[in-house]
Amino acid sequence: DLVINEERMKLPYMNDQCEQMLKISNEFVRLQVSNEEYLCMKVLLLLSTVPKDGLKSQSVFDELRMSYIKELGKAIVKREENSSK
């Protein structure tokens, strides 16, 4: 886990990392990303990594990933419908 403390902030790359995270969060605000969209994207990012030990069931994994892709699509449609009202 990333722990931000005084000692870590003195590392040469840490300030750059914090600036990049701030840019990303500002971009989400600019794009008006909803909580539902953000959570779906976060899960999809987590699902894009495969455990070292591999998967017990690729088909279950693919089904789970597709369900989040569908939910992200629904959240986007819902936001577009709300913004057009």
Same domain, 13 and 39: no
Report how many domains make up the chain.
2
Same domain, 21 and 45: no
Distances (CA, A) of 25 to 11, 20, 21, 59, 70: 22, 9, 6, 33, 23
User: Per-residue pLDDT tens for 9-22?
Assistant: 788 888 888 889 88
**What is the pTM (predicted TM-score) of this model?**
0.57
Residues lower than pLDDT 50 in the chain: none
Same domain, 46 and 81: yes
Same domain, 41 and 62: yes
Q: Yes or no: say if 79 and 37 are a contact pair by the CB < 8 Å rule.
A: yes
Same domain, 23 and 37: no
**Residue 48 lies in domain:** 33-85
